Amino acid sequence: MSNTTAPTTAEVNFDGLIGPTHNYAGLAPGNLASRSHRREPSHPRAAARQGLAKMARLRSLGVPQAVLPPQPRPNLGLLRRLGFSGDDATVLEAAQKQSPHLLATAMSSSSMWTANAATVCPSADADDRRVHFTPANLVTSLHRASETDVTAMLLRRIFHDPRFFVHHDAVPSSTDMGDEGAANHTRFCDTFDAPGVQLFVYGSDSRGDDGSGPKRFVARQSKAAGEAIARLHRLDPDRVVFAKQNPRAIDAGVFHNDVIAVGHRQLLLCHEQAFAQPDRVIEDLRRTTNDTIRVVQVPEQRVSLDDAVATYLFNSQIVTTETDQTVLVAPEDCRQHSGVNALLGELVEDNTFDRVEFVDLRESMDNGGGPACLRLRVVLTPDELASVASGVLLTDELVIQLENWIDRHYRESLTAADLADPVLMKESYQALDELTDLLRLGAIYDFQR
Ligand SMILES: NCCC[C@H](NC(=O)CCC(=O)O)C(=O)O
């Protein structure tokens, strides 16, 4: 078993702990799983256990693993800002009566998908040699846009040392500046301490609607946000690539690029329909990486866009283990799909991966979040890692404490009718109050002050 303090510069996965109000409200634009599971009962305890089991599995492979706490729900501040008043129970009841949609928004536990929390660039790539963070504005939907402030606070709290970390404000919240964070951002490198090349993928070009965008669903990520982040993070423009998503893919349910492409070190695994101009993207990546990148494009004939979205093949995580193996951590759904499973066998055969491991993330998957959605990758040198709030770094002991904590506080199931229950609110706040002790973060939530 490895120690979480990596001796060399390493990629640390910060996974979002799934919160006690995890539910299916169908809130997410362009996300087919969210739409099709709308109003189904959810299983918060199983959900949180599945997410934690994935973290423990990666840790057992020797991948440094940390945890980000959920956002406080219900988000009473949001409901009050929208005109619901009275005591807490009255606010929840009025919201349920007048707008179940707003109530569900205030109960969403979507912050678990930390790939959307922020864009992070390692110190090796920034000209001031510090790690840069920009929280995502998530303007496309209210339930996600209301995560930004708490995310920013959490990141500042966890990565608190200004010698190592720079925290930027989110880019302005305007639809032509849409930013959904690291889900549309990939970094390629040789070893993690070496300077990398960063790929920013976008669905909309802020220069206006020229009719080339998706027809059915909204493009959530803008090019302008990526450009701003590349400037803010002081990246070398010669080592940055911008790529437009294929609008057909967005219309098939690819609401983030990480539903159709995944990169790790010198490998890009993507569907042939991922980008509007795939040849140009590959050429740009070859040039900027001095031809060290290996691109594996999966043809439509092998895996259709629809099957890619249904199985979340490309939302797998690729990790380098302690023994220097390259492992693909894929959703169970990929094993169950014969075509995808056969392809994975071939990718092991041809040494793209040393092996594939499958993880059961049913509860998250049913809201459109696979293995890669649940993690924010932060590349840290040993000194940077040593300065991080250490209570969030996963240890064997913390896994056991969190399992126990989940079992004590989380409900087995939740329905839409339960969301206004003031007892659920108390349970949720009490759970989070205890969690901040377990993670040694102090009082971070408004309700604790
Ligand atoms: N990276 C995965 C993000 C999934 C997320 N789903 C949601 O917000 C579903 C919420 C709901 O419908 O209850 C989204 O689409 O942004």
pLDDT band at residue 443, thresholds of 50, 70 and 90?
very high
| Average of per-residue pLDDT across 164-192 | 97
| Average of per-residue pLDDT across 234-242 | 98
* Among 363, 359, 392, CA closest to 61: 359
Mean pLDDT (the chain, rounded): 97
CA 254 vs CA 26, 133, 172, 275, 333: distances in Å = 16, 25, 24, 11, 17
What DSSP designation does 253 have? T
Percent of the chain with pLDDT over 70: 98
Tell me, in angstroms, the distance from the centre of ligand 1 to residue 110's CA.
6
Q: CB neighbours of 18 closer than 8 A, spacing ≥ 6?
A: 44, 47, 48, 50, 51, 70, 109, 112, 363, 364
Which residue has a Cα nearest atom 14 of ligand 1? 28
* 312-347 per-position pLDDT tens digit: 999 999 999 999 999 999 999 999 999 999 999 999
Superfamily for domain range 10-448: Succinylarginine dihydrolase (3.75.10.20)
Cβ atoms of 342 and 313 within 8 Å: the answer is no
Query: What is the dihedral sign for C-alpha 27, 32, 34, 35?
Result: positive
Positions annotated as catalytic residues are: 180, 256, 373
CA gap 375, 117 in Å, rounded: 9
Percent of the chain with pLDDT over 90: 96
pLDDT band at residue 10, thresholds of 50, 70 and 90?
very high
Is the pLDDT score of 208 beyond 70? no
| Average of per-residue pLDDT across 235-241 | 98
Is the pLDDT score of 65 beyond 60? yes
Residue ranges of the domains in the chain? 10-448
| pLDDT score at 6 | 47
Is the pLDDT score of 1 beyond 90? no
| pLDDT score at 70 | 98
* ipTM at complex level: 0.99
**Mutation probe of ligand 1 site: the residue of 110, 180, 373 with most atoms within 8 A of C-beta:** 110
pLDDT band at residue 224, thresholds of 50, 70 and 90?
very high
CA gap 198, 204 in Å, rounded: 18
Tell me, in angstroms, the distance from the centre of ligand 1 to residue 145's CA.
12
- In degrees and rounded to multiples of 5, residue 36 shows phi and psi of -75, -15
Is the pLDDT score of 368 beyond 70? yes
